[in-house]
Amino acid sequence: MKYNNTLLSFSLAIALNLSLVAAVVAPLSAHAESAAAAQEEVEKGPHRGRMLRDGNFALELAIFETGVPPEFRVWLTQDGKALDPKTVDLNVKLTRLGDVVDDINFKAQSDFLRGDMEIYEPHSFVVTITAKHQGKSYRWQYDNFEGRTSIEQAVADAMDIQTETAGPAALHQTIPAYGSLSLPAGAERHIAARFDGEITRLHVALGDKVSKGQTLFTIESNESLRSYQIKAPIDGVVTAQLANGGEQTSGRTLLTLTDSTHYLAKLAVYPGDFAKVKLGAPVTFQLEGHSHAYSGNIEFIEPKVRDDQARIAWVNVSNENGDLTAGSFVNAQIEIASFEVPLAVKRVGLQGFRDFTVVFAKVGEQYEVRMLELGREDSEWVEVLGGLLPGTEYVTENSFILKADVEKSGASHDH
Peptide bond between residue 122 and the one before it cis (omega within 30 degrees of 0)? yes
Return the pLDDT at 411. 54
Structural domain count of the chain: 3
For position 388, which CATH number holds? 2.40.420.20
Return the pLDDT at 414. 56
> What is the DSSP secondary structure assignment for residue 336, as one 8-state letter?
E
What are the Cα distances from residue 331, in Å, to 81, 174, 175, 280, 373?
A: 73, 13, 11, 18, 32
* CA 340 – CA 343 distance, rounded (Å): 9
Sign of the C-alpha dihedral, residues 320, 323, 326, 328?
A: negative
Is residue 117 within 8 Å of residue 68, measured between CB atoms?
no
Q: State whether 244 and 202 are in the same domain.
A: yes
* CA 163 – CA 3 distance, rounded (Å): 20
Q: Is 21 inside a domain boundary? A: no
Say which residues have a Cβ less than 8 Å from residue 302's Cβ, sequence separation at least 6.
311, 312, 313, 314
* CA 400 – CA 238 distance, rounded (Å): 55
For position 134, which CATH number holds? 2.60.40.3340
Q: State whether 140 and 155 are in the same domain.
A: no
Q: Angle at CA 80, nearest 5°, toward 79 and 85? A: 90
Domain boundary among 258, 287, 319: 258
Sign of the C-alpha dihedral, residues 66, 68, 74, 75?
A: negative
Diameter over CA atoms, the chain: 130
Q: State whether 75 and 100 are in the same domain.
A: yes
Residue 197: exposure state from Cβ atoms within 10 A (0-12, 13-18, ≥19)? buried
How do strand 329-346 and strand 366-371 relate by DSSP bridges? unpaired
* CA 304 – CA 310 distance, rounded (Å): 9
Return the pLDDT at 8. 43
Q: Is 192 inside a domain boundary? A: yes
For position 212, which CATH number holds? 2.40.50.100
What SS3 class is residue 315?
strand
Q: Is 28 inside a domain boundary? A: no
Within 10 A of 367 (CB to CB), how many other CB atoms are there?
28
Q: State whether 153 and 138 are in the same domain.
A: no
Q: Is 321 inside a domain boundary? A: no
E-only strand ranges, 21-70: 50-54, 57-64
Q: State whether 114 and 160 are in the same domain.
A: no
Measure the N-to-C terminal CA separation of the chain; round to a whole number of Å. 23
Q: State whether 153 and 136 are in the same domain.
A: no
Q: Is 310 inside a domain boundary? A: no
- Tell me the β-bridge partners of 224: none
Report the chain (415 residues): mean pLDDT per 10 consecutive residues: 42 41 41 46 92 96 94 96 96 95 96 96 95 96 94 94 97 94 94 96 96 97 95 95 95 96 95 93 90 92 94 94 90 94 97 95 96 94 96 96 86 54
Q: State whether 244 and 165 are in the same domain.
A: no
Angle, helix 29-40 to helix 399-409, in steps of 10 degrees: 50
Main-chain dihedrals φ then ψ at residue 155, nearest 5 degrees = -70, -40
Q: What one-character-per-residue DSSP string does 181-202 give?
A: EEPPTTSEEEEE-SS-EEEEEE
Is residue 86 within 8 Å of residue 106, measured between CB atoms?
no
Main-chain dihedrals φ then ψ at residue 179, nearest 5 degrees = -175, -150
What b/e sequence results for 11-21 when a residue is b if at least 16 CB atoms lie within 10 Å of its CB, and e otherwise?
bbebbeeeeeb
Is residue 203 within 8 Å of residue 215, measured between CB atoms?
yes
Q: Is 6 inside a domain boundary? A: no
Return the pLDDT at 407. 87
Main-chain dihedrals φ then ψ at residue 272, nearest 5 degrees = -65, -20
Boundaries of domain holding 121:
42-145
Q: State whether 47 and 118 are in the same domain.
A: yes
